[in-house]
Amino acid sequence: MGIGGWLVLLAGAVLVAALLLLRGAGARRSQAGLPRGRVVYQDTTGEPARPLFSNRYRLTGRPDYVIQERGAVVPMEVKPGRTAQQPYDGDVLQLGAYCLLVEESEHRRPPHGYLRYADHTFQIPYTDELRTAVLDALDDIRHDLRARDVAPSHDDPARCRGCGLRDECGEALA
């Protein structure tokens, strides 16, 4: 075989390897439940990522991913231990807070965010209602931080059993 033939063979091998790599990356991506788009921020590598921060709302947080989709930048939070037909309200609120942080850093509102549970990815619209709920929750938290005594925000004994403040908390449910 002449040198031209070897070059054609080599080019073919490189092409096949590139396709296999692409397929592998695609499979890993879909296994992780990641939507299409470019990951521009990731807090899942073991090294803590620099938190997103809003001076205006005095809010900081680290979403698991920030993804650049077609024309939008959106956060994604992964809860691999959760299975549910509908996302939990608390998780939606947390994702809403990440949407607010992305809005602040990108100077435009993300249209939605993603919540990934064990076997399903929910696309959560970042509505005016969700944005307002996040701002209200921030106000409530600041108010509670100044209060002398705060009632538990849940009635779940399991949460108290795993809570590091249980010995000091006078409201523990378990």
Chain positions 119 to 158 lying near ligand SF4, rule: CB under 6 A, are 152
Structure tokens at 102: 């992305």
Decide if residue 169 touches ligand SF4 (CB under 6 A): yes
Whether the CB-CB separation of 101 and 138 falls below 8 Å is answered with no
DSSP run (H or E) holding 162: none
Decide if residue 163 touches ligand SF4 (CB under 6 A): yes
End-to-end Cα distance, the chain = 78
The one-character DSSP state at 50 is P
The one-character DSSP state at 51 is P
With CB under 6 A, what is the number of residues at the site for ligand SF4? 10
Measured from the CB atom, is 128 or 167 closer to ligand SF4?
Answer: 167
Q: How far is the CB of 167 from ligand SF4 (least distance, A)?
A: 9
Residue tagged 């005594």 (tokens):
149
Specify the stretch interacting with ligand SF4 by CB under 6 A; choose among 62-70, 92-100, 107-115, 160-168.
160-168
Q: Which residues here bind ligand SF4, judged by CB under 6 A?
A: 152, 159-160, 163, 165-166, 169, 171-173
